[in-house]
Amino acid sequence: MSPVIKVLVVEDDQDFRYLIQKMINKEADMQVVKACGTRQEAVRLAVETEPDIVLMDLNLSDLELEGIEASREIRVSTGAKVIILTAIENPALVIDASVKGFASGYVFKSQFESLVQTIRGTATGYTPQECLIRAAVLSVLSPAEQSVLEYIMGNTGGIQSSAKTISNQKTSILRKLGLRNQKELLHVMSKYGE
């Protein structure tokens, strides 16, 4: 039997949150470990419950797109993958939000019936959405910075640059991605597929 996929549901609409929980808990290979409706609760519960997947509502409150910051915090501090859940049916905006939040995918609320399939695909491998988001995250880096990132990730042999140049490029990568240190960089990027 496959391991159970642990899911944290973050949705401020209580009725919709209930429907999501009910749908997920019907699946033999999935379990909602907790559900909440605020950014603060989401980050705390993600650390405490160690879910495999966090379903993150993009608009958690009156603060527009608060789910982005919660997603970033969760990706940096836990092993969970985040799937953005949104009523905003603007693909460019949602992909941008997914990139900024280091999400692994997204589901429009109007496509609610595909939620279980998206959770399963994201938990068991790398979806086309995740590859697209990874490419968008990396698109802000220069080719030299991408080479240094691949080197840091252990995906290539040596690179032909001085230690000082590599250090400068590493600093630039962290700044462009909004990360504080190499540990956060490795943690976030290791969750994306190749």
Same-domain status, 35 and 112: yes
Listed residues 104, 129, 154: the one ending a domain: 129
> What pLDDT tens digit does each residue of the chain (194 aa) get?
468 999 999 999 999 999 999 999 999 999 999 999 999 999 999 999 999 999 999 887 766 668 889 999 999 999 999 999 988 888 888 888 888 999 998 998 888 888 999 999 899 877 777 777 888 888 889 988 888 888 888 776 667 788 888 889 989 998 988 888 888 888 888 777 54
Interatomic CA distance for residues 67 and 70, integer angstroms: 5
pTM, two decimal places = 0.83
Listed residues 129, 159, 175: the one ending a domain: 129
List the domain range (segments joined by +) for residue 90: 5-129
Q: Does residue 118 sit in helix, strand or coil? A: helix
Q: How many separate domains does the chain show?
A: 2
Domain of residue 56, CATH code: 3.40.50.2300
Same-domain status, 75 and 163: no
Q: Which amino acid type is present at position 154?
A: G
Same-domain status, 156 and 103: no
* Whole-number pLDDT of residue 194: 46
* Whole-number pLDDT of residue 154: 79
* Whole-number pLDDT of residue 94: 85
Same-domain status, 70 and 108: yes
* Whole-number pLDDT of residue 193: 57
**Closest to 171 measured CA to CA, from 157, 155, 152, 187:** 152
